[in-house]
Amino acid sequence: MQSFEKTSSHHVAALQATIEQYVDPQSGARHIHMANDAAEIAFLVAFPTVPDRSDGRAHILEHLALSGSERFPVRAPFFSMLRRSTATFMNAMTYADRTAYPFATTDEQDFFNLLDVYLDASFFPQLNYLDFLQEGWRHVFDGGKLAYQGVVFNEMKGAIADPMYALHHGIIAPLFAGTTYASASGGDPLAIPELTHAMLQDFHASHYHPSQAVFMSAGRIDAATIQARIATQVLARRNDTAPRRTPALAAAWDAPREQALRIPSQQARDDEYGLQLAWLLGEMADPLAYYSVHLLAAGLLGDAGAPLRAAMESAGFGRPSRMNGQDAGMRQMVFHLGMEGLTQPEVDAAQALILSTLERVAVEGVPVATLRAAMRDLRYQQRNTESSGTPFALRRMLQALPLSLYGGDVMHAFDNEATLAALDARIADPGFFKGLVRALLDNPTRLTSRVIPDADYFTARAATETARLAAQDAALSDADRARITQDSADLAAHQALPTDKTLLPRILPGDVSAQPRPVPTVPALAGNALQFTVASNGISYARAVYDLSHSAPADWPWLDLYVDLLPDLGVGDRDFAAADAWRQVLVPSFRVGLDTTLAPNGSLRIEVGFSASGLREEHAAIAEVLSTSILDARFDETERMAFLIERLVQNKLSGLAKAGRDYALLAAGAPLSPLRDFQNRITGTPSLPFYGALKKLAQTPEGLAHVAARLAAMHALVTAVVPTRMTAGAGDDGATLAQMLAAAPAFAAASAAAPVVGASEAPARAMAAANLALHATGQVNHCVIAWPAPRVGHPDAPALAVAAELMGAALLHQALREKGGAYGGFASYSSEGGMFSMSTFRDPRLAATYADFAAALHAIAHDDFSDEQVEEAIISVIKGLDKPLSPYGDAITAWQLQRRGITMEVRQQFRTGVLTCTLARIREAVTTWLTPGAASRAAFVGDASGDLDGLALVDLVALAGQE
Ligand SMILES: [Zn+2]
């Protein structure tokens, strides 16, 4: 059956791929295929989802589509496939106007297994009523009182803990009034209970149709083979047509408007007001408009010397908003400019400052070098194969997806060179940028939001929910009560049913390679330097690493502050603004970081790394930036430091609830692992008093002098070390760049000296286990329990890795997510950190969750599990080991493994141990290591008035010394 017709084919050299476009004339279904030689084969199916209310229908449908389908009528096939597949990526995402179901794998058999499951899930889901109750929302009786429960309901309570969520939605909704963007696409927990099961079924029927669908694929696979599957499994059954759904355009305004906007705040201090200006702009599918807005943001805000950012940072009040710049998440783009950290009287001054600066730039323009650097960054991004979790091809496909759904030309997402060339010519004209700014000023569709911090934001929402429930409770008839009780019983019975997964395809331990994934050979160090040759697609990398393992624990927070602030301070004769502009012109990427690993003897290795990367044509610039930034770093701009510290402390405070799970994970792990202990000290609970004290220091000249002296001392500590230099690039590029670095002033003198090797001894660890309830205001909890465990190389390590997967799949998912309502329930073994943990994410419960952890521990040691369950757990571990990395990522990993003492033999032993693991081995390892007495517990609690299960309460806000 051949239905798709090819409409175009283009080779894109920068992507090393050919983009083929197809359409099925009957239904109008689109297929875009990216033919390339990558290790991964990727696929996605997507639909426009344009709800007109905030009841979360698109998001809950996404959850339900993955909960069982006609051909695969098993419970949670998506979660089952996570363990029956060697997929390197499996996900489903609901955006403001679309839903996408992507996956990637390296194995062709696995690809077609997953394709079958994904096609059936999206086009023919069961949309079972009981799954709707579990994943969406339901009424329950909690201690006799009516309450809400449900996975998405709790997931969204967690999502809105971030003040940026309320800020963004509070601006987008009025600006896009009358369109799908005015509703909360993920679902507002106060509106979710308005959604019925029937409404959800209707939404699926009207939105998940072949005529709406966009299929995308990538890899060493024939497009026709994929199309044949789509034709037989989908098109043959649904060959009618329906008009395509495209999000409506928002109406332009005659004149700017204003509003007051309340956002959640832990304390609502009088310096937490803000001002946001938002303009409605052209369509993001128009490439010239899209990149022009990108350039507008780069010219106004791109570096510390850019006029608008400089004006806001040196205003003497407040700081730039974290939401500034281009927002291309909707069909029409939005441009945001704003300030935060204001007192109420400063709000008007902020508006005047922004508008007067725009007026000035509309007359004066910006240096063309700034715009050229922005163009260079766009070309760097086009070549960049580094991926943060999402495979490269999928990332490009997800970028192309909105263009397809908005009726644009997807080729612009794969090949932007023609557009960039057109802009190269335009930016040379000084009138071009001035014109962009003038158009912004003249645009009447502008919303001014006066942002008000609201400490009662969540309590008010909780009160609304409680009042609503009380009214509903009072109005319930006996029949209503009986139905709710019956629903709960039916759901519990449904959740307890054994799932027959035999219908689902799977990959067996015997199907995967017995050998570890090969990693590149690490070249020998020569004169403290090593060079990698990597297929980098024309990007070159350099890194200078300073071993600070000998530093004192009291210095660690200061070292962390040093790496945070250094890139935002001056260099030599240049002040911070000039330095940032200088660096921006030279390289697309410059970073300073603090990294930790464990040396083979178990001691903590602490390193400060300076890295830069750029196009291969710019080797000299990479070497210059690294050398000069290190050699000429300066720590005398105290006013700038005060500004940066204020921003750092405020971000830390407003992010407390959002980062709640990280605080809990670090607090529970710190007593067990030197790696977690280090992280906890610099970013966890113990860092809060440091930040509180830092904020006070930043308020006086004497305090700032002290900070400046400490940072200078850290710099002296760093530069006293002889660094190891690493370079990487295509062909001889790594070697060429290495020669330039060796000759650069910061490294020339040290090249002959021996590097300082981490000298600390393996620490004797005797810290008391944690037992903490960490509190900041929010609507959900995150619970963690952890144990010390052996590291990789120990004979029990493979069994612990498999045990974590088995516990997660066979016990925790059901108890914590399906029944408990938490968004996630996990077990995890860290072979590097030497730790085993169980945890929840966005959890409505606490004491009951810890009881479930204890029950899971008992079950894993005593209950029976099938061979199939153990095999699935084995496949889950192997999947993690075999995930392909970018060529540069591979080189860095090989180097890290070598320095951690993890040889090919150790990796082989671990892999063999995993592949041959048995239930008996799992029980033995779990009984040996996960003893109740050794457990360390920490939870983040959004509401401290409930049962804390004996955890000692710590008020995070008070700890930061902010009251
Ligand atoms: Zn979700």
- For residue 79, the CA-to-ligand 1 centroid distance in Å is 13
- For residue 268, the CA-to-ligand 1 centroid distance in Å is 30
How far apart, in whole angstroms, are the C-alpha atoms of residue 458 and residue 441? 36
Packing angle of the helix pair 847-862, 797-807 (nearest 10 deg): 120
What does the mean pLDDT of the chain come to? 93
- For residue 94, the CA-to-ligand 1 centroid distance in Å is 8
- For residue 847, the CA-to-ligand 1 centroid distance in Å is 24
**Per-residue H/E/C for 556-582:** HHHHHHHHHHHHHCCECCECHHHHHHH
Residue 759 pLDDT exceeds 80? no
Packing angle of the helix pair 687-697, 556-565 (nearest 10 deg): 60
The whole-number pLDDT of residue 161 equals 85
The whole-number pLDDT of residue 768 equals 85
Residue 573 pLDDT exceeds 70? yes
**Residue 750 pLDDT grade (very low, low, confident, very high; cuts 50, 70, 90):** low
Q: Which two tokens stand for residue 287?
A: 């490439």
Which region, left, alpha or beta, applies to residue 501 given φ > 0 means left and ψ of -120 to 50 means alpha?
Answer: alpha
How far apart, in whole angstroms, are the C-alpha atoms of residue 413 and residue 183? 27
Residue, of 267 and 555, whose pLDDT is higher: 555
**Residue 761 pLDDT grade (very low, low, confident, very high; cuts 50, 70, 90):** low
How far apart, in whole angstroms, are the C-alpha atoms of residue 957 and residue 265? 11
Nearest 5°: phi and psi at 557?
A: -60, -30
Q: Which two tokens stand for residue 263?
A: 């956002």
**E strand map for 293-371:** 319-320, 325-327, 332-342
Average pLDDT in the 908-915 region? Answer: 97
The whole-number pLDDT of residue 765 equals 56
- For residue 161, the CA-to-ligand 1 centroid distance in Å is 15
Q: Residue 750 in contact with residue 548, Cβ under 8 Å?
A: no
Rg of the chain over all Cα atoms, to the nearest angstrom:
28
Q: Residue 112 in contact with residue 129, Cβ under 8 Å?
A: no
32 CB-near residues (< 8 Å, 6+ apart): 19, 20, 21, 22, 214, 215, 216, 217, 397, 400, 404, 410
pLDDT 10s digits, 239-273:
778 888 999 999 999 999 999 999 999 889 999 99
SS3 124: coil
Q: Which two tokens stand for residue 242?
A: 């329906």
- For residue 180, the CA-to-ligand 1 centroid distance in Å is 19
Q: Give the other-Cβ count within 10 Å of 448's Cβ.
A: 19
Q: Which two tokens stand for residue 859?
A: 């079950």
How far apart, in whole angstroms, are the C-alpha atoms of residue 208 and residue 99? 10
The whole-number pLDDT of residue 242 equals 80
How far apart, in whole angstroms, are the C-alpha atoms of residue 828 and residue 846? 19
The whole-number pLDDT of residue 748 equals 84
**Residue 802 pLDDT grade (very low, low, confident, very high; cuts 50, 70, 90):** very high
- For residue 60, the CA-to-ligand 1 centroid distance in Å is 7
Average pLDDT in the 395-402 region? Answer: 95
- For residue 144, the CA-to-ligand 1 centroid distance in Å is 29
- For residue 726, the CA-to-ligand 1 centroid distance in Å is 41
How far apart, in whole angstroms, are the C-alpha atoms of residue 797 and residue 832? 10
Which position has the token pair 């970028």? 399
Highest-pLDDT range among 157-171, 514-528, 557-571, 762-776:
557-571
Residue, of 273 and 39, whose pLDDT is higher: 273
620 CB-near residues (< 8 Å, 6+ apart): 740
CA angle at residue 859 from 917 to 783, to 5 degrees? 100
CA angle at residue 548 from 542 to 550, to 5 degrees? 160
Q: Residue 469 in contact with residue 277, Cβ under 8 Å?
A: no
Lowest mean pLDDT among 107-121, 514-528, 553-567: 514-528
161 CB-near residues (< 8 Å, 6+ apart): 264, 458, 657, 658, 660, 778, 779, 780, 942
- For residue 156, the CA-to-ligand 1 centroid distance in Å is 8
The whole-number pLDDT of residue 193 equals 97
- For residue 455, the CA-to-ligand 1 centroid distance in Å is 27
Report the percentage of the chain scoring pLDDT > 90. Answer: 86
- For residue 96, the CA-to-ligand 1 centroid distance in Å is 13
Residues listed for the chain? 963
Q: Give the other-Cβ count within 10 Å of 119's Cβ.
A: 23
Residue 775 pLDDT exceeds 70? yes
How far apart, in whole angstroms, are the C-alpha atoms of residue 187 and residue 56? 3
Q: H or E stretch including 225?
A: helix 223-230
The whole-number pLDDT of residue 288 equals 96
pLDDT 10s digits, 688-736:
999 999 999 999 999 999 999 999 999 999 999 999 999 999 999 999 9
pLDDT 10s digits, 117-156:
999 999 999 999 999 999 999 999 988 899 999 999 999 9
- For residue 632, the CA-to-ligand 1 centroid distance in Å is 48
- For residue 187, the CA-to-ligand 1 centroid distance in Å is 10
Average pLDDT in the 931-942 region? Answer: 93
Q: Which two tokens stand for residue 109?
A: 């058999």
Q: H or E stretch including 99?
A: strand 98-105
Q: Residue 402 in contact with residue 99, Cβ under 8 Å?
A: no
How far apart, in whole angstroms, are the C-alpha atoms of residue 802 and residue 92? 25
The whole-number pLDDT of residue 16 equals 86
Q: Residue 86 in contact with residue 512, Cβ under 8 Å?
A: yes
Q: Given CA atoms 522, 526, 528, 530 in this order, what sign does their dihedral have? A: negative
Average pLDDT in the 189-201 region? Answer: 97
Closest CA to 24 of 220, 215, 208, 225: 215
**Residue 191 pLDDT grade (very low, low, confident, very high; cuts 50, 70, 90):** very high
DSSP 191-210: TGGG--HHHHHHHHHHHS-T
- For residue 152, the CA-to-ligand 1 centroid distance in Å is 6
Report the percentage of the chain scoring pLDDT > 70. Answer: 98
- For residue 63, the CA-to-ligand 1 centroid distance in Å is 6
Q: Which two tokens stand for residue 574?
A: 């240049």
Q: Residue 204 in contact with residue 16, Cβ under 8 Å?
A: no
Ion ligand 1 contact residues with beta carbon within 5 A: 155
Q: Residue 79 in contact with residue 129, Cβ under 8 Å?
A: no
409, with CB counted inside 10 A (0-12, 13-18, 19+), is middle
Q: Residue 375 in contact with residue 427, Cβ under 8 Å?
A: yes
SS3 445: coil
Enumerate the H helices of 66-128 as residue ranges. 77-84, 108-123
- For residue 695, the CA-to-ligand 1 centroid distance in Å is 37
Nearest 5°: phi and psi at 764?
A: -85, 120
